[in-house]
């Protein structure tokens, strides 16, 4: 094999690998949907009002910075009760539930999460009027927080 | 004893929204990992964090294994009156840590 043919083959191989690596982010697995249903019941979940901020690409899945905020006046009559965060292909779909009150001032929280692989993260805001709003983001993880190995 | 770091502004104006940062040392062992011998490692996580302001709850978080080791939380509250903010982390194996911070509201 001459050099040019080798490079062509290697390039095709790399392309194939990256497609395989990105693929799992495609469909939304049922387990996450079931976890979301446990929280929202039969209520509809509308995209909007919630803002989920995660880096589009994370080198280290062990600690991915995550910020969720929900637009709300945070008054007694109209405030955000809770924000629920879910992941698609972690071993467990639940990540955290944050509970707010009008005393919180604003519905915004930041933390660091583990992501087992490249996947979609979903945040759901629960408002005082009983409505649910959502946002989602896909994070590409290069070093996954996998099941084996040391932290 | 777990070490906790808390960042609360010492002074604030009445009605101001203040930002609170907390960090606590904890492995947050997921319960999904195994030792090299293949034995499962039991889950050991902080399950709940509660912040109260002069006794009234202002923020709470239910945590799962997907929260990174040494849980870090940033949230906010309205500075209503001078007093004490209390932070409590509870979790598996009887883990319980309480810290507090004073705030002066003018």
pLDDT for A52 beyond 50: yes
Closest CA to A122 of A68, A78, A72: A68
Joined tokens for residue A83: 């924000």
pLDDT of residue A5: 66
Q: Give yes or no for a contact between A46 and A135, defined as CB atoms under 8 angstroms apart.
A: no
- Calculate how close chain A gets to B71, using CA atoms only, in Å: 7
Residues of B in contact with A97 (CB under 8 A): 61-62
| CA separation for the pair B104, B84 (Å, rounded) | 9
Give the domain range for residue B75: 4-32+42-105
In this complex, do A95 and B66 lie within 8 Å of one another by their Cβ atoms?
A: yes
Q: Tell me the average pLDDT across A70-98.
A: 95
B49 touches A at CB < 8 Å: no
pLDDT at B32: 87
- Look up the ipTM and state it: 0.94
pLDDT number for residue A146:
62
Q: Is residue B64 part of a domain?
A: yes
User: Dihedral of CA A113/B38/B43/B2: which sign?
Assistant: negative
Alpha carbon distance B81, B79 (integer Å): 6
- Across residues A91-116, what is the average pLDDT? 95
Residue B37 lies in a domain: no
Give chain B's domain count.
1
- DSSP letters of B12-35? E-TT-EEEEEEEE----B-S--B-
Structural domain contains residue B14: yes
Contact B66 A111 (CB under 8 A): no
* CATH number of the domain to which B94 belongs: 2.60.40.10
Q: How far is it, in rounded angstroms, from Cα B97 to Cα B92? A: 12
Can you give the pLDDT at residue A17? Answer: 45
Residue B88 lies in a domain: yes
Rounded distance, CA A24 to CA A66, Å? 21
Q: Cα(A40)–Cα(A53) distance, rounded to whole angstroms?
A: 22
**Looking at the domain assignment, is residue B54 inside a domain?**
yes
Q: Quick one: average pLDDT of A108-115?
A: 96
**What's phi and psi for A101, nearest 5 deg?**
-145, 170
- Alpha-carbon distance of B17 to B38, in angstroms, equals 49
CA distance B13 to chain A (A): 14
- B26-45 confidence digits (pLDDT tens): 999 999 888 889 899 999 99
Cβ–Cβ gap A104/B76 under 8 Å: yes
Across-strand partners of A51? A69
Distance from CA of B50 to the nearest CA of A (A): 9
| C-beta neighbour count of B24 within 10 angstroms | 22
Q: Is the pLDDT at B89 greater than 80, yes or no?
A: yes
Cβ contact A126:A92 at 8 Å: no
The verdict on residue B12 lying in a domain is: yes
Average pLDDT over residues A58-67: 94
pLDDT value for A26: 36
Report whether pLDDT(A8) > 80: no
Residue contact A111–B53, C-beta within 8 A: no
* Cβ distance of A112 and B72 shorter than 8 Å: yes
Q: Residues 11 to 40 of A: which have CB under 8 A from any B CB?
A: none
Tokens of B47: 């399950």
pLDDT at A1: 57
User: Average pLDDT for residues B43-72, to the nearest whole number?
Assistant: 96
Whole-angstrom Cα distance, residue B29 to residue B91? 11
Q: What is the pTM of this model?
A: 0.84
Which of the four pLDDT bands, split at 50, 70 and 90, describes residue A54?
very high
Which residue ranges form the domains of chain A, and what is each CATH number?
27-143 (2.60.40.2470)
Show the tokens assigned to B49: 């964090």
Which residues lie closer than 8 Å to B63 by C-beta, 6 or more apart?
A: A96, B28, B45, B46, B47, B48, B49, B71, B91
Instruction: Label residue A20 by pLDDT band (50, 70, 90).
Output: very low
Cβ atoms of A32 and A134 within 8 Å: the answer is no
User: CB A63 to CB B71 under 8 A?
Assistant: no
Q: Give domain status of residue B70, yes or no.
A: yes
Residue A21 has pLDDT above 60, yes or no: no
């Amino acid at each position: 094999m001459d050099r040019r043919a080798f490079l062509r083959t290697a390039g095709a191989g790399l392309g194939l690998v990256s497609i395989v690596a990105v693929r799992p982010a495609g469909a939304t697995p049922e387990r996450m949907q079931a976890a979301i249903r446990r929280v929202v019941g039969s209520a509809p979940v509308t995209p909007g009002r919630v803002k989920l901020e995660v880096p589009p690409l994370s080198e280290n899945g062990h600690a991915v910075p995550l910020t969720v905020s929900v637009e709300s006046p945070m008054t007694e009559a109209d405030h955000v009760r809770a924000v629920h965060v879910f992941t698609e292909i972690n071993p467990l779909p639940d990540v955290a539930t944050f509970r707010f009150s009008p005393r919180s001032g604003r519905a915004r929280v930041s933390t660091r999460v583990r992501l087992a692989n490249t996947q979609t993260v979903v945040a759901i805001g629960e408002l005082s009027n009983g409505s649910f709003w959502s946002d989602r983001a896909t994070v590409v993880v290069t070093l996954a927080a996998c099941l084996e190995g040391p932290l | 004893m777990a070490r906790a770091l808390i960042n609360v502004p010492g002074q604030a104006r009445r009605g101001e929204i203040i930002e609170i940062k907390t960090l606590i040392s904890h492995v947050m062992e997921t319960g999904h990992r195994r030792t090299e011998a293949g034995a499962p490692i039991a889950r050991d996580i902080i399950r709940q964090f509660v912040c109260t302001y002069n006794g009234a709850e202002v923020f709470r978080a239910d945590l799962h294994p997907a929260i990174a080791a040494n849980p870090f939380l940033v949230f906010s509250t309205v500075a209503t009156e001078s007093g004490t903010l209390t932070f409590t982390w509870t979790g598996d194996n009887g883990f319980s840590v309480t810290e507090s911070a004073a705030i002066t509201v003018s």
